[in-house]
Structure 1
Amino acid sequence: MVSEYSSFSICGQYYGHLGSDGKLRIWETSTGNLKQEYIPNLHLTSPCTCMTWLASPNTVISHQPRKKRKSDGGGGGAMVAMGTRCGTVVLYSVAEGKVVSMLQGHKSAVDCLVWERDTDLFSCASSELVIQWDFVKKKRKRSFKSGIEQITAMQVRIDRNCLLLASREIKLWDLESVTLIRVYTGHVNFVTSLDIIDLPSGESYFITSAQNDRLLKAWNLNKENAPEDPVASFAMNDVARSVSVSVSKKGDTNMAAVTKSGAMLLYSHQINGKNVPIKPTQVVMIASDSGQNRSKVSSLQIILARSITKKKAFIAYGSMPFLAFESIGLETEDKEICLVRKDPKIASSLKQQAVKVRGPEIGNDVEYLSQSNVNGTIVGNKRAKGKASDVPLAERLDNLALNQPSSSTTSTQPKSEGLAHLLIQGLQSKDKSLLQSVLFRKDEVVMAQTVQRLPLHVISPLLRELTALIQGKTYMSQVAAEWLRAILSAHASQLLADTNTGPLLAPLLGIVESRLGTLGPLCRLRGRLDLLINQVTVSDKQNLVDSSSQALLVHHDQGII
C-alpha cells in the first residue's frame, strides 16, 4: 500500500511529508526551508503509518495541566495527526514542535485518518474498527465495525452525515444511524485517494484514484437515487501520485493530477455524465536549469499541487529532502507548459557554501602589529608621537641577533606558523607539490602547532586530502595517520558539533576497519616467519658447533705394534 504521505496544511503555510521510515518532516512553503523533523521514539518498531492535517480550535488544551495555547491564525494552530503501527493516534503541534496529545483506542495498526472541521477526527484500523474522536477532550464519540479488512482511503462530510470508506470498493455510511447506504464498485485495485466535490447547486461528487490505474473516476455522493457506477472518468498518461480538486463559484471543477513521472495534468470541466474519458486540458512539466548550454536537460518532479484555478496553481517540486514551492501561472493557451527552474538540491548546496565561507569583519580602529612589535614592546599611548624609537638599551641588545641561534639551524625547519600558511595555500590551490612539502613530516610537535593555527573552514578540505593519502603506501599512510591524530586532538569539539563530519570520516573508518581485518593474518604470518628463521638460525649454530668439535688433524702411526 501507500508507504509515503504528503499534503499541505489547511492554511497552506506548511507542507508535511511522512516517509516510509516513519519520520515526519515539515517545510515552510513561503521560504522552502525544512522547519521541523519529528522522529518518534519507537519509529523503527512502531513507525507512523498515516497522517492528516487538522486545525485546532481557538484554544487547544495541552497534555500538561494548567497550560493553554491560543491559535494566532497564522498557522499557529496547525497540527498533524499521525497513526502508528501499534494503534495509537499521535497529535503533533507545529507551533510547539512536540507531541501534545495521544489517543488510544485501536489494538492494531491505524490505516487512515481524516479531519474536516471542529474537533472531530476519524480513524480506522486494520481490525475493521472506525472511531470518531473529540481530539481536544481526548474522548471517543462513536465507533463501529466497517466490515473492510484493509481501508486505504477515507473522507467525511459531517454536515451531510456521510462517511466514505474505500478499499477495492467504496462504501458510503450514514454517521447518524451508523448504517451502510451504498457500495460503489469500479476499481480493480486498492483506492489510493478520495476527494469530495461540493457544487453550488447542492450536488456532491467524489473523485477516486487507484493503484496502477490510469483513470480517475467521479462518483455521485447523493444519498438518494444516485447511481453506483462512475458518472465520469479522466484519462492520464501515468499512474496518479496525488489529486487536488477545487470548485469555482460557477460550478466549474478544476482538478490537478500529479503523476509518478512528475508531470501535472490539469482538468477544467463540468461533471455532466460523459461516458468518454476526459483528457487533460493542459500538461505542466518542469525542466532543470543546469546553467550550461550543451548539458543534458533533466526534469524536476512535481510532487503535489493545491489552490487550483484556471489562472494559477501552487505546487511543490524537487526531490526529498530538497523541495521548492511556487505559485505558477496558467494563463496560456498552450496544452503543454514546460517551466525551467533551478534544482533545489543545487541551490541548497550553493547556499550552504555561501553561509559557511564568511569573511572576517574588520573595523576601522584595527591596529596592525608587525613581527618586531610582537617580539619587542609596544610603545604606550602616554609617549609622544614620533618618539617610538625611544626603546631602552637593554631591550635593543636583546633584539640583536648575537644571542639568537644560528641561521643554519632555523632555516632548515620552517616555523609552524609558516607551515600553516603554506598548508592553507596548498589546499586552496590544490597544489600537490606544496601539500607534500608540508604534510610529509614526522615531527609531532610541528604537526600539533600547525593544526592549532588552521582556521575551521580548512579542516574539511584537509580531511579529504588526508583520506586520499591514507590509502597510499606505508610512509604516506603513516604521515596521514599522524596528521589525523593532531586534528582530532585539536579540533575534536568542532568536529563533533559539525553535521558534515560524518560523511568526511566515513571513508577513514572504512579504511581502518579493512586494515584491522588484515592485522590478524599478518600477525600470524609474522609469527610463522619468526619460527622458521629461528629454526634456521639454530640449525646453523649446531652445524658450527659440530664442525668445531672435530679434530683438525688425526695421525695414525703404523710403526708401533
Structure 2
Amino acid sequence: KRKDKSSVATLTMQDNPVSLSVTMDENSQIVILVANRSGQVHLFTYQPNGQCTKPLKPKVTVVIAADTNQKEAVQQVPIQSADLTADKKMLLAHGSLLNLTFERIVPDFSNKIMGLVRSDARKLREKKDEALTKVKVVEAHDSVEYISPGAAVGPVKRTKGGSQLPLKDRLENLSLNSETNTSSKVQSKGGNMAQLLIQGLTSKDRNILTNVLYNRDEKIIHNTISKLPVQAISPLLKELTAMLQGKTYPSKIAVVWLKNLVIIHAAHLLSHPDIGDVLSPILGLIDLKLAVLPELSRLRGRVSLVTGQISHLNDQQNKDTMAEEGLLVYQDF
C-alpha cells in the first residue's frame, strides 16, 4: 500500500524555527513548543482527529522585553531555545549565547501574547562599567568668573629697635637675588596672563585674546597654561585651531601653545570623551601643512643655490676690482 506522506497539520509562525519540543498529555493532546529565529516562543496545541485543513495558530506567544527603567527604547531579549518539562512548564533559555539565563514559566492561556520583563545581564554589566569609567566633563558657562586661589597676607609689622643692615649689605643682597627676582616676575606675569586669557575666552574679546596669544616668550606661555583651569582648555583649543588656519606667524605661535598645552594637560586631554572631535581639525591642518613641506624644502634649496652663486659672483668681482692697478698714478712732491 502507498503511504500518505502529506502533513496532518501545519503550524503558523512569524519566522523560521530554531528549536522544537513536543509532548503528549493524558488526554492524547499534542503540545508543541517552538522557538523561532526572531527570539519568540510559540505554544501550539493539537487534538489528533484526522487531517487539519487550516493552519494552526499559536495558543500563546511568549515575548521577553528588557527592563530599561523607561529611559531608553524597549529592547527585546531573544529566547535562544525552549523545552517542555514533565510538569507542563516551559523551560526557556534567553539572553545572549555567551550569557544564557534559564527559567521555568507556567503558560498563561488567558492572553495570546504573554509578555515578560527581564533584566539583560549584559546591559547591566555595560551600565556598571560605564558608571565606573565615565568621566564627567565640567561645563563652562559664560557667566562664571574664575578667580585664582591665593591666601591673603597681612601686613608685616616692623619691630622696634634692633640692628638694621647697612647699605653695603643691602646692595649685595640685591645683586645675589637678581636671578630669583626675574624668575618670580616671570611666574607672576604668567599668572596675570592666565587671568587675562580666561577673561578673553569667556567674553570672546578679540583684543584680549590677541594680546595674550601672540606672546612669543615660551616661559610665559608655559606658566600661563600651567595656571589655566581645565574648563578653559576646550575654548583655548578652538582659538588655537583658528590661529593654525592663519598665516605663518600665527601658526608658529600656535604650535608653541599647543606643545605646552599637550605637555601640561595631557591627563585631562586623554580623559576627555570627545578628544577625537576636538583634535581632528588640528591634526588635519598639521597634515595639510606637512604635505606642502617637501615642495617648500626643494624651493628653499634652489633659492639658496641661486643666492649663493650670486653672492659668489659679487665677491669675485669685488676682488678683481680691488686687485687691478690704476692706469695713472700721480705723486705730488
- Name the TM-score, length of structure 2 as normaliser: 0.53
- Is the Cα–Cα contact under 8 Å of residues 12 and 29 in structure 1 kept in the other structure? no
How far the C-alpha of 1:61 sits from its partner, in A, is 10
Give the partner amino acid of 1:470: L
Superposed CA offset, 1:265-313 (max 9, x none): xxxxxxxxxxxxxxxxxxxxxxxxxxxxxxxxxxxxxxxxxxxxxxxxx
- Is the Cα–Cα contact under 8 Å of residues 471 and 477 in structure 1 kept in the other structure? yes
Alignment of 1:449-464 (within 5 A): 449-464=223-238
- Is the Cα–Cα contact under 8 Å of residues 448 and 486 in structure 1 kept in the other structure? yes
Whole-angstrom CA distance in 1 between matches of 2:158 and 2:103 = 71
Structure 1, unaligned stretches of length 5 or more? 1-5, 15-27, 36-50, 80-92, 98-353, 360-367, 377-388, 556-561
For the structure 1 residues 34 and 495, does the alpha-carbon distance in structure 2 shift closer, same or farther, using more than 3 Å as the test? farther
Whole-angstrom CA distance in 1 between matches of 2:323 and 2:314 = 15
Q: Which residue of 2 aligns with 1:246?
A: none
Q: Which residue of 1 aligns with 2:192?
A: 418
- Is the Cα–Cα contact under 8 Å of residues 79 and 95 in structure 2 kept in the other structure? no
Whole-angstrom CA distance in 2 between matches of 1:537 and 1:94 = 75
For the structure 1 residues 29 and 62, does the alpha-carbon distance in structure 2 shift closer, same or farther, using more than 3 Å as the test? closer
Q: Which residue of 2 aligns with 1:535?
A: 309
For the structure 1 residues 61 and 460, does the alpha-carbon distance in structure 2 shift closer, same or farther, using more than 3 Å as the test? closer
How far the C-alpha of 1:75 sits from its partner, in A, is 2.2
Whole-angstrom CA distance in 2 between matches of 1:355 and 1:515 = 32
The structure with higher relative contact order (CA 8 Å, sep 6+) is 2
- Residue 526 in 1 paired to residue 300 in 2? yes
Give the partner amino acid of 1:370: A
Superposed CA offset, 1:21-79 (max 9, x none): xxxxxxx47113899xxxxxxxxxxxxxxx98337756679978xx9856697422x59
Q: Which residue of 2 aligns with 1:75?
A: 118
Give the partner amino acid of 2:139: V
Alignment of 1:272-291 (within 5 A): none
- Residue 486 in 1 paired to residue 260 in 2? yes
Give the partner amino acid of 1:525: L
Whole-angstrom CA distance in 1 between matches of 2:73 and 2:190 = 42
How far the C-alpha of 1:495 sits from its partner, in A, is 0.9
- Is the Cα–Cα contact under 8 Å of residues 194 and 224 in structure 2 kept in the other structure? yes
Alignment of 1:72-151 (within 5 A): 74-76=117-119, 78=120, 93-95=122-124
Whole-angstrom CA distance in 2 between matches of 1:443 and 1:425 = 20
Q: Which residue of 2 aligns with 1:356?
A: 138
Match of 2:153 among 372, 393, 396: 372
Give the partner amino acid of 2:118: G
For the structure 1 residues 413 and 488, does the alpha-carbon distance in structure 2 shift closer, same or farther, using more than 3 Å as the test? closer
- Is the Cα–Cα contact under 8 Å of residues 222 and 260 in structure 2 kept in the other structure? yes
How far the C-alpha of 1:441 sits from its partner, in A, is 1.1
Q: Which residue of 2 aligns with 1:54?
A: 79
For the structure 1 residues 447 and 429, does the alpha-carbon distance in structure 2 shift closer, same or farther, using more than 3 Å as the test? same
Match of 2:71 among 20, 27, 31: 31
Whole-angstrom CA distance in 2 between matches of 1:429 and 1:472 = 22
How far the C-alpha of 1:518 sits from its partner, in A, is 1.1
Match of 1:477 among 251, 269, 274: 251
- Is the Cα–Cα contact under 8 Å of residues 190 and 220 in structure 2 kept in the other structure? yes
- Is the Cα–Cα contact under 8 Å of residues 78 and 96 in structure 2 kept in the other structure? no
Q: Which residue of 2 aligns with 1:444?
A: 218
For the structure 1 residues 71 and 522, does the alpha-carbon distance in structure 2 shift closer, same or farther, using more than 3 Å as the test? farther
- Is the Cα–Cα contact under 8 Å of residues 419 and 450 in structure 1 kept in the other structure? yes
Q: Which residue of 1 aligns with 2:276?
A: 502
Structure 2, unaligned stretches of length 5 or more? 1-37, 41-61, 82-90, 105-115, 127-135, 142-148, 165-172
Alignment of 1:121-520 (within 5 A): 356-357=138-139, 370-372=151-153, 415-520=189-294
Whole-angstrom CA distance in 2 between matches of 1:71 and 1:496 = 44
For the structure 1 residues 62 and 549, does the alpha-carbon distance in structure 2 shift closer, same or farther, using more than 3 Å as the test? closer
Q: Which residue of 2 aligns with 1:546?
A: 320
Give the partner amino acid of 2:78: W
- Is the Cα–Cα contact under 8 Å of residues 13 and 30 in structure 1 kept in the other structure? no
Give the partner amino acid of 1:473: K
Whole-angstrom CA distance in 2 between matches of 1:10 and 1:59 = 12
For the structure 1 residues 450 and 62, does the alpha-carbon distance in structure 2 shift closer, same or farther, using more than 3 Å as the test? same
Q: Which residue of 2 aligns with 1:326?
A: none
- Is the Cα–Cα contact under 8 Å of residues 196 and 212 in structure 2 kept in the other structure? yes
Q: Percent identity?
A: 30
For the structure 1 residues 424 and 502, does the alpha-carbon distance in structure 2 shift closer, same or farther, using more than 3 Å as the test? same
How far the C-alpha of 1:433 sits from its partner, in A, is 0.7
For the structure 1 residues 444 and 417, does the alpha-carbon distance in structure 2 shift closer, same or farther, using more than 3 Å as the test? same
Give the partner amino acid of 2:316: Q
Whole-angstrom CA distance in 2 between matches of 1:357 and 1:506 = 21
Give 3-state SS (helix, strand or coil) of 1:372's partner: coil
For the structure 1 residues 525 and 13, does the alpha-carbon distance in structure 2 shift closer, same or farther, using more than 3 Å as the test? same
How far the C-alpha of 1:450 sits from its partner, in A, is 1.6
Whole-angstrom CA distance in 2 between matches of 1:96 and 1:412 = 51
Equivalent residues, number: 221
How far the C-alpha of 1:551 sits from its partner, in A, is 3.3
Larger radius of gyration: 2
Superposed CA offset, 1:89-125 (max 9, x none): xxxx54555xxxxxxxxxxxxxxxxxxxxxxxxxxxx
Q: Which residue of 1 aligns with 2:111?
A: none
Whole-angstrom CA distance in 2 between matches of 1:479 and 1:55 = 61
Whole-angstrom CA distance in 2 between matches of 1:355 and 1:52 = 33
Whole-angstrom CA distance in 1 between matches of 2:230 and 2:293 = 34
Whole-angstrom CA distance in 2 between matches of 1:358 and 1:419 = 19
How far the C-alpha of 1:461 sits from its partner, in A, is 0.7
Q: Which has the higher strand share?
A: 1
For the structure 1 residues 416 and 511, does the alpha-carbon distance in structure 2 shift closer, same or farther, using more than 3 Å as the test? same
How far the C-alpha of 1:502 sits from its partner, in A, is 0.9
Give the partner amino acid of 1:421: Q
For the structure 1 residues 71 and 477, does the alpha-carbon distance in structure 2 shift closer, same or farther, using more than 3 Å as the test? farther
